[in-house]
Each structure stands twice: as structure tokens, then as C-alpha cells.
Amino acid sequence: MNRELTPLILRGDELYRRVLSPLLLGGSLRPVRPLGPTLARRIAELADTFTCSDLDLQHRCDEARLRHARTLAPLDTLPPLSSADWMLLAAFNDLLQSVNPRLPSVVAPSRPTRLLNACSLLLASIPPPHDLLAALTRHATFARALEVHRVDTQVRWWTGSAQFHGEPPSKRLLAMPNLRRVQITETWVELETLPLPGFPREHYHEVLAAWLALSPLTDLATAARIEPPFRWHATSLGLIATVPGRRLARRVLGRIGAKGDVALEHATRELEKQNLHIPFQIAARFLDERRALASMSS
């Protein structure tokens, strides 16, 4: 094996096992050390030849991707992760690391901002999906991205309290619970609200929106989210501009509920306000069709 490639393969393998496999199969997601644009691109160049060190895990991940894809289209096989998918995965890792409470330090408080800037640069270099299969493959990989959550634990005892973000509380603080009157409160924090006070919250939401825009089906599937609010992008409009794309989009929206429909209406109205006639017509036609089909099926 080429000596220069060995570290890249190891980092890619680490990224696959610690980030992608939990994203597809569930469980603990442990982001790896921030990668940045250069390293992410170099790892992505190995996409065609990548094989995970745990072949069984890779097989289960492929099955999970196919399982996601088959909920939308009758496919029997999915292509492996492309270079763009690898860069998107690296960007997602860096995005999660940017809200790591242990990232900033006293001497380097601006690390989250620097990491988000690097993440924006990386996202700007990722091409949008070039056809329906690529969009479906990307969605099958990242469909559960917005299901990532962090468990924050608050421990109270008779003389004080302590907060733990995404890590288990110290055993020392849990000792003698009856005597010290220890109370543990767990809070589930969604991906949209991960930044703690003092972190660049708006910047984080901008980068998350840019990340979602690169997977238009995932963007549509999570349109009911609160932050960042759903907006029509060139990728999502390009998707619903074709008949098969509209069909896929309708399937992915499925039972998104009233919140999602309201978000789609708001986003379409934004296009109208900005006098973007053609995008507005594409989005409006899509919503009209969706309403007509909903009335037929109800």
C-alpha cells in the first residue's frame, strides 16, 4: 500500500465507522477530528476504491441505504458512495464538531467560527446531484441526518449542580445518591438546537441549510423543521422541474404533515415576493399537483 495513502485510508475508515454507520444504522455517533476541505477532498478521491475494514458493517450499511431508497423507488441496487457523498459526509462531521462544547478554548475561542468557515468552503466545492439516481442515493445516505440528537444531562445534589452535554456524568457525582439527594435530568437536544450559548448559532444554521441544499430530497423530507427554515434552492427546484423528480418529491414528502406543507407554502411565497417568476411557477405547479393528489386520496 502506498505510504502516503495509508493515513487517508485510516481517516476515511474512521469517518465511515464512527459517523456514517451510526447515521445509517443508529446508535452512538462519535464525530472524528475535524477534517477540513483539503483533507476531505483527498479522502473523497479514494471513493472508488474504498473498502471498510469491517466488511460486515459495510454490508449492513449498504443494506440500510438500499432500505431507505426502496421506500421511494423500486431499486435493487445502489451505487457506492461517490466522491461528492464523501465530501458531504466530511462536511457533516465538521458541522457536528463545530458545536462540540469542548472545541473552543480560552486561547482559541474562535475555533467554531473558523471550522464553520472551512465547512462552508468545502460545501461550496461539492457538486449538486447530477441526476435522479444521484439525488436518491444521496438521500438514502443522509436521510436520517436531522434525527441526530444530543443527550444533555443535569446532575443536582444537595450543595450544587453540574451540566453535561453529550457525555455521561462523572461517576463521582453520582455516588451515594440517597445521602446526597442526587437528581438526574436528561434532555434530548435536536440537531437544529445543538449550539450552546456563546456559539455562532446563526452561522451554524446557514451552514446546515447549505448542507441540506446539496441533498434536495433530504431537504424536502425535513421541510417541517424549525431551523433552518425550508427554502427552495436551485437543486430542489431542478428536482421538481421534471416529472419523475416531482414523483420522487411527492413520495418523500409523503405524510410530512401540516407543518411541512406550511413551510413549502412559505418558501413558495418567498419566491413570489422576490419576483423570481420561473422558480415560482415551478414550485407553485408542484404544490398544485400535490394539493390535487391529496384531495383525490383523502
Residues forming the site for other proteins (CB under 8 A)? 22-23, 25-31, 33-39, 63-64, 67, 73-76, 94, 96-97, 100-103, 111, 114-115, 117-118, 121, 132-133, 144, 147-151, 165-167, 194, 244, 247-248
Question: Is 97 within 8 Å of 103 (Cβ atoms)?
Answer: yes
Cβ proximity to other proteins, 103 vs 224, nearer residue: 103
Cβ proximity to other proteins, 85 vs 94, nearer residue: 94
Residue 171 CB, nearest approach to other proteins (Å): 17
* Cell 404544490 -> residue: 287
User: Coil, strand, or helix at residue 153?
Assistant: strand
Residue 97 CB, nearest approach to other proteins (Å): 7
Residue 227 CB, nearest approach to other proteins (Å): 17
Q: Measure the CA–CA gap between 29 and 74, rounded to whole angstroms.
A: 29
Q: Which residues contact 56 (CB under 8 A, 6 or more apart)?
A: none
* Cell numbers standing for residue 35: 477534517
User: Coil, strand, or helix at residue 164?
Assistant: strand
Cβ proximity to other proteins, 124 vs 258, nearer residue: 124
State how far Cα 52 lies from the chain centre: 21
Identity of the amino acid at 117: N
Query: How many other C-beta atoms are found inside a 10 Å radius of the C-beta of residue 81?
Result: 22
The continuous run of DSSP H or E covering 166 comes out as: none
Longest distance between any two alpha carbons in the chain, whole Å: 69
Cβ proximity to other proteins, 110 vs 274, nearer residue: 110
Identity of the amino acid at 105: S
Residue 194 CB, nearest approach to other proteins (Å): 8
CA-nearest of 22, 163, 153 to 93 is 22
Cβ proximity to other proteins, 46 vs 276, nearer residue: 46
Cβ proximity to other proteins, 26 vs 177, nearer residue: 26
**128 DSSP assignment:** P
* Cell numbers standing for residue 201: 448559532
Residue 168 CB, nearest approach to other proteins (Å): 9
Residue 177 CB, nearest approach to other proteins (Å): 24
Q: Measure the CA–CA gap between 123 and 119, rounded to whole angstroms.
A: 6
Cβ proximity to other proteins, 121 vs 262, nearer residue: 121
Cβ proximity to other proteins, 191 vs 209, nearer residue: 191
Residue 228 CB, nearest approach to other proteins (Å): 18
Q: Measure the CA–CA gap between 258 and 89, rounded to whole angstroms.
A: 30
Residue 118 CB, nearest approach to other proteins (Å): 5
Question: Is 99 within 8 Å of 194 (Cβ atoms)?
Answer: yes
